[in-house]
Structure 1
Amino acid sequence: MLCITGIILSLIYIAFFMNKKENNIKEYVIIEEGIESINSMYGEEIIKRGNYKNGDDYISIDDVENMLETLGLEDIKNVIRVKLGKADKISRENWYEILGFVSNANGMKKICDTKEINIYSIDKENKNIISDAGSYVYNLALDNLDDKCIEAMVRDNQIIFIKKVVNEVTFNNLLIIGSEKDNITVRLNGIERTFAVKGLKEKLEGIMCDLVVRDNKIMKMSLKRDSISGKVQAISENGIEVEGFGNVVLDEKYRVYSSYDSYKEQGIENVRVGDGNLRFIVANKKICGIFMDSTPSADNIRVLIKTTGYTALTHDYVTVSSKSPFYVIYFENDGSDTPREKKDLYNSGDSITFNCDNDKLKVGRIKITAQDENGKIMLNSVSRNGNNPEYRGTIELGLNDGKIVVINELSLEQYLYAVVPSEMPSSYGIEALKVQAVCARSYAVSHMNNGALSAYGAQVNDSTDYQVYNVTPENENSISAVKATYGQVLMYNGEIANTYFFATSCGSTTDSTVWGGSPLPYIKGKLLCDDDNNIDLSDNNTFNEFIKTEYDTYDKGSSWYRWNITMTQEQLSDSINGNIARIYNNYPDNVLTWTSEGFVSRKLTNIGEVTDIYVEKRGIGGTIEELIIKGTTAVVKIVKQTAIRNLISPNGIAINKADGTSVDTFNALPSAYFTVEKNGNSYTFYGGGYGHGAGMSQTAVKSMIDKGMNYEEILKFFYDNVNIEFIYDNK
């Protein structure tokens, strides 16, 4: 059977070769190039150079067979012998085919690709080829490749083998940075080149072009002058949604430049939704270039409003109204190249419902704004705390995968009016709310550029995914606190600090590695008290003693300072088995199963009946880093606080708080600062705090103010070595 299979494979290979046309290229592959191409494909030195004769000699059929034997591909060797006979030289075309067989046989076909590369510049010292589509590494001689178009086999950014060279090349979307007499200077990937252009009739600067070049001479130049301008409403793989123009596809070789900074090249990550100071160079209905005419502003923020209960990012329908007259602004096709903007005025009390098949939404986004600048728009189809929320600024509706996305765009300061009371009780007083305002402003600005919601047209959403917004309406205290700290943010070494905060500590905070990753130097674990006591809560025995006492810290008066919950073996087993598949899907690296090879990430749906649970490792401040759970059918290690808290769901079971009250509606543990004791067939969790524990404790802030500290002192207590600076261009 094996022999028959080999014969069939050989016939297939022979048929493939026989059907290929003879290559007209008169070049042949030398040994050095052949060895390098195979080693580049494998990413390591599989073929040893010392096993072959002079590297400048041509590869023969015998050399090919030796290489294939080294690779363990003897089957291919027989096929190639039939095709090439006793050839003492291998053409580039045939070597390219041989490499194709090798990549297919070794499973690398998916990661090896053939590309056409336009060579703009060569860095011989670092063996880099700079093209108009990125940089590539080529480990062989780079002579005579300037201004050439090559067809090459590549793996990632490594050139494996050059199959063909064309002496004329077309560079797309180059930037002309200046001209003088009969010369133009262009820039690509930071490299400037000057070309002669006869009969130049105007001075050129900041203009994009396509150049056809041969031997450092321009054969043809096509200037790209057509542009559009408008606010960026969304950014996705399909293009950029520009207000008034809809979604415009990005050219494969688009460029981004900051014209305010000497046309410095930027990445698409520097273009953010909401930006309006942009020019888009368009050719053939595609965006070829993006010019940022000023630094992105932090004045406004775009907030995605989730559905009732925060269950989804998009809506099946949206109903709006207002207590004052309001406009509905939309675009209408009138047969011209671009849709025409229209504005309809509605009376106060009017209610409008938009469904997913709304004709206006099919043309472009719809904006809804109150006629009075202080008016608000109500979302009647959304509920927050049993009420329909009202929003300042503009409500924007768009389509995303057939559903409606709702964006609230408003000034950053007005956004904070409704973030501060949603994140901290207004009863804490204005000084405490100032702390929250600076933290919330810093957090918002630091997330404006992360791009996670760009496809929807937003920078943040209104849930705990970012900061809770407008679940509690703005009030006099929250507005006063925001105004008193207008524009203030926390900075560390010239960068906006990521000001994590949470509700209540167990008496100590932790560092930012609570989620994994590298630590932030300004967020460190510390005991929250007047005395600088050095207690190592990462030690299990020390933590167990600490958590069962009411140590005198700033959070001591909180009802969440200490808590406990008792679960039966059955309840705990049901909770873990009911959640572990979901937790694994969300955090596969944080759910590890014991095997003969140790703990490994492996999907599972059940661990059987829980027989033991204990803390394997604690982090700074006592947060659990690793929790071991033994079941009758599996033993698992759960890593980091998010997975741990969500795996053990106490819903329907009373969590007893420090003030004598209890709550039984939690779907996750209040924190990962706890210890577990087994008592017969039940397990009692003794814990403290509410939240992740990194950064600022909101409950502690109230106590610190009562002790006479002001908001600036408190901020610098929680965030080490930060400065309070002003974010806006003009105060």
Structure 2
Amino acid sequence: MKKIIIMLSAFLILILGVLFFPRNVEQGVVIGHNSNSITVIVNGKDKVYKTSETFPKLTVIDFKYNLLKAFGFKVITPIADRVMIKNAGSYDLESLGKTNLSSKTFYYTVDKDNNIKLSESKNLIIGKNNIKSFKTKNGELKTFFIYPMDYSSMRVGISTNGFSSVYHSKVQIKALEPAKLYSMRENLNVDLPKDSIVVIEKEDSNLKLTINNKTTIYKNRLYIKGNSIDFQSIKRGSGSSTFSPSYSGVLEFSISDNGMCVVNDVNLEDYLKKVVPSEMPLSGGVEALKCQAVAARTYAISDMINNRYAALGFYVDDSTRSQVYNNIPMQPLATEAVDSTKGIIMTYEGIPIDAKYYSTSAGTGVNYSDVWFNADGTSDSRPYIANNNYLTPKIELPKNEESWLNFYKNTSIKAIDSDYPYFRWKVEYSAAGLTTALNKTLKSLYSGETSKKYLTIYENSRQISKLPELKELQDIKIIKRGENGIAIEVSFIFSNTTVNVRGDSYIRSSIKCNQEYTNETTKLTRLKGDPLTNVGSLPSAFFSCDKKDNKFTLYGGGFGHGAGMSQYGAIELSKKGMKYVDILNLFYKDVKMEKIM
């Protein structure tokens, strides 16, 4: 009997505990209420709690509850601070600085009608004012609201001379008009008169700022805002046309582990006015430039949405790694093209497309997956970048390697961009010269953490994991080719080993076209113009190899990856009277032109 009483007492205590023992909720999101309860999103799930308390929709609250009621409510104040850099375990907030993330974080998108939906961290775009975040008691970020985004500004990483790096050691700037120098976290707010010289350099983990021979050390991001900020420590252009680039908007300077990063936060349309002339010659006329403007605008927004450089604080850089910005001063015809297409982008199923473009085709365009694929062979879906035939008249494409060699040897074949120098080209090597070059390039590729995955090495038909010194090159075979001619996998057969290389960029990087790699005079002969002797990588992966005696000749066509828009193709179609919308619809399949602002 005594045992039964003890068991009943324990059960009663358990029941009372369940009824009355309080549990904690941290950062619930209120989404509705009635006279005796509220509905709260807790850890991504809707839950109802009994209470007579009411809160406005989307209030974030901490509280306690038991089975009878919720109580002890505390409203959490939102932080309206831009996220400037995203790292794995922390975010850099513009005013508050580096802030750790909670072990469990929750992201919600909020539409214009205040409807809320569980989202993902990838939808939080750095540098935008559409974010509200909420800290826990421990000072960690746990909850984020992501509101509709304004696309009107771009964040561009500014490179050093020659676009060689986004990490600077020292910059010198001249304010060609009055400007403002300031910090969001430290005591700095200075008006810069016209012609002021500002020097900013990395010193350990700090920024050393010098104005008029007065130097001050700052620990945090610095800003210069103005309409004409001249970067005197950088040269752009080439030859006799070099110049110091000028920037509008805001220049931001911050320290990373690898150096000082410089970001230009600039109006999207102003950005395009310096991209379009840098990416496309003016000779094609305004319709071709409109094509470039729409493609460049779409490309930029696509990279923005994809958070490509979120760990560095910008959306795109100013080189061919993204699209070239401010390498040629603004030009009236390019500005007209940007203005007349203001806000227009290409979308596929309502989403901005990844608007790839390149210089010159070899007569065909290829699938996205033929160029960009993972080491396991999988690729993202880009159905709007698909195989295209630009030959005039259209003829059936080759089906075997012998036919592809003849196709690339053929300098009389016609296509929409066949009047341009790189439509056909060839490079000649001795076996010794190409062996020397491949020893350098393949070693470099195999030392890279990512590129290594795209190389396979065989010795006596057995796969090995170490790249030996490569002895005499005996043959080059295309062992996988896309339907429209691009080399997807190339086999370099040496006397002692075989190295297979996959992927457009790695194939092109493996075959250099200059004496620095071959130790002999190496000429790239184009369809038109003088042979070139100082070319870096192969112009494209659209090529075949012809071996005779002890010499290798690569016959190829095109300049660039061959996916999306051929810029010179767009120029020629523009000259023939086609309008930009029709030209773009030729290069990108089933896309729509939509205005985003």
Q: Which of 434, 440, 445 pairs up with 1:578?
A: 440
Q: Residue 587 of structure 2: which of 708, 712, 718 is its match?
A: 718
In the aligned structure 2, how far is the partner of 1:498 from the partner of 1:361? 41
Alpha-carbon separation, structure 2, partners of 1:479 and 1:419 = 10
Partner residue of 1:693? Answer: 562
Instruction: Within 5 Å, give how 1:111-130 maps onto structure 2.
Output: none
Which has the bigger relative contact order, CA under 8 A and spacing at least 6? 2
When the two structures are aligned, how many residues end up with a matched partner? 548
Specify whether residues 660 and 191 from structure 1 end up closer, same or farther in structure 2 by C-alpha distance, changes over 3 A only.
closer
Alignment of 1:168-247 (within 5 A): 170-188=24-42, 190-197=44-51, 200-213=52-65, 216=67, 221-247=72-98
User: Partner of 1:650: helix, strand, or coil?
Assistant: strand
Q: In structure 1, what is the equivalent of residue 532 of structure 2? A: 663
Other-structure match for 2:156? 303
| Fraction of identical pairs, as percent | 27
Give 1:519 shift: 4.8
- Kindly report which structure 2 residues correspond to 1:579-594, keeping only aligned pairs within 5 A, or say none: 579-584=441-446, 585=448, 586-594=450-458
Q: Aligned letter for 2:91? A: I
Distance in 2 between residues matched to 1:460 and 1:218, nearest whole Å = 51
Counterpart of 1:358 (choices 190, 207, 216) is: 207
Counterpart residue identity of residue 232, structure 2:
N
Return the match for 1:541 from 402, 409, 419: 402
- Residue in structure 2 matched with residue 123 of structure 1 by the alignment: none
Structure 2: how far apart are the matches of 1:460 and 1:355?
Answer: 23
With over 3 angstroms needed to count, the CA separation of the structure-2 counterparts of 1:190 and 1:369, relative to structure 1, is closer
Q: Which of 372, 383, 391 is the equivalent residue of 1:515? A: 372
Aligned residue identity for 2:474:
T
Structure 1 residue 311 displacement after superposition: 2.4
**Does structure 2 conserve the Cα–Cα contact (< 8 Å) formed by 1:171 and 1:211?**
yes
Q: Which amino acid aligns with 1:239?
A: S
The structure with more radius of gyration: 1
1:345 partnered with 2:191: yes
Q: Does 1:427 align with 2:427?
A: no
Match of 2:128?
A: 275
Equivalences for residues 139-154 of structure 1 within 5 A:
none
Structure 2 counterparts to residues 72-83 of structure 1, below 5 A: none
Partner of 1:114: none
Contact 2:459–2:497, Cα closer than 8 Å, also in 1: no
Residue identity opposite 2:526 in structure 1: K
Structure 1 position 557 matched with structure 2 position 410 = no
Tell me: CA distance 1:171–1:537, structure 2 relative to 1, closer, same or farther (3 Å).
farther
Structure 1 range deviating more: 254-263 or 449-458:
254-263
Offset from partner CA, 1:164-192 (integer Å, 9 cap, x none): xxx97544322222333342221135532
Alignment RMSD: 2.4
Give the one of 156, 160, 165 matched to 1:312.
165
Report the Cα offset of residue 507 of structure 1: 1.2
- Which residue identity lines up with residue 343 of structure 2 in the other structure? G
Give the match for residue 180 of structure 2.
Answer: 327
CA distances 1:202-257 after superposition (whole Å, capped 9, x unpaired)? 4353222344555x456764524223213332222342223222223222233222
Distance 1:638 1:201, change over 3 A: closer
Give the Cα–Cα distance (whole angstroms) in 2 for the partners of residues 716 and 603 of structure 1. Answer: 47
Mapped to 2, the partners of 1:308 and 1:538 lie a distance apart of 45
Please give the per-residue CA displacement for 1:521-557, whole angstroms capped at 9, x wherever unaligned: 2222222135343x23453232222111121111111
Aligned equivalents of 2:167, 2:145: Cα separation in 1? 31
Change (3 A) 1:449 1:566: same
* Distance across 2 between alignment mates of 1:349 and 1:702: 40
TM-score, length-normalised on structure 2? 0.86
Q: Tell whether the 8 Å contact from 1:507 to 1:527 is kept in structure 2 after alignment.
A: yes
**CA–CA separation in structure 2 for the residues paired with 1:383 and 1:217:** 71
Please list the CA deviations of residues 76-103 of structure 1 after superposition, one character each: whole Å capped at 9, or x if unmatched.
xxxxxxxxxxxxxxxxxxxxxxxxxxxx
In 2, the alpha carbon distance for the partners of 1:508 and 1:643 equals 21
Amino acid at match of 2:311: A
Instruction: Describe the superposition over 1:15-57 as per-residue Cα deviations: whole angstroms up to 9, x where unpaired.
Output: xxxxxxxxxxxxxxxxxxxxxxxxxxxxxxxxxxxxxxxxxxx
Q: Deviations over 1:456-497 (max 9, x none)?
A: 211111111111111112211110110111111111221212
Displacement of 1:650: 1.3
TM-score (norm. length: structure 1): 0.71
Please state how far the C-alpha of 1:508 moved relative to its aligned partner.
1.2
- Asked whether the equivalents of residues 294 and 341 of structure 2 are also in contact (C-alpha less than 8 Å), the reply is yes
Residue 439 (structure 1) aligned with residue 290 (structure 2): no
Q: Deviations over 1:298-319 (max 9, x none)?
A: 1111011122222222211222
Q: Which amino acid aligns with 2:32?
A: G
Contact 1:369 1:376 in 2 (8 A): no
Counterpart code for 1:391: Y
Q: How does 1:563-642 map to 2 (within 5 A)?
A: 563-584=425-446, 585=448, 586-594=450-458, 602-642=465-505
Alpha-carbon offset, residue 679 of structure 1: 2.1
- Summarize the Cα distance change of 1:654–1:402 in structure 2 as closer, same or farther, 3 Å threshold: closer
Could you say what secondary structure the match of 1:393 adopts? Answer: strand
Partner of 2:110: 259
Partner of 2:361: 505
Indicate which of 77, 101, 106 corresponds to 1:250.
Answer: 101
Contact 1:511 1:519 in 2 (8 A): no
CA contact (8 A) 2:43 2:106 kept: no
The separation in 2 between residues aligned to 1:594 and 1:588, in whole angstroms, is 14
Residue type of the alignment partner of 2:456: L
Report the CA distance shift for 1:579/1:192 in structure 2 as closer, same or farther (over 3 A).
same
Give the superposition deviation at 1:267: 1.6
Alignment match, 2:518: none
Q: 1:224 to 1:607 in 2, by over 3 A?
A: farther
Q: Is the CA contact (8 Å cut-off) linking 1:417 and 1:474 kept in structure 2?
A: yes
- Residues 136-171 of structure 1: per-residue CA shift (max 9 Å, x gap): xxxxxxxx9xx99xxxxxxxxxxxxxxxxxx97544
Measure, in 2, the Cα distance between the counterparts of 1:400 and 1:719: 38
2:30 corresponds to which letter in structure 1? Answer: I
- Structure 1's unaligned 5+ residue stretches are 1-143, 149-166, 334-339
Conservation of the 8 A alpha-carbon contact between 1:180 and 1:203: no
Aligned pair in 2 of structure 1 residues 542, 288: CA closer, same or farther (>3 Å)?
Answer: same
Whole-Å Cα distance in 2 between the matches of residues 322 and 191 of structure 1?
Answer: 53
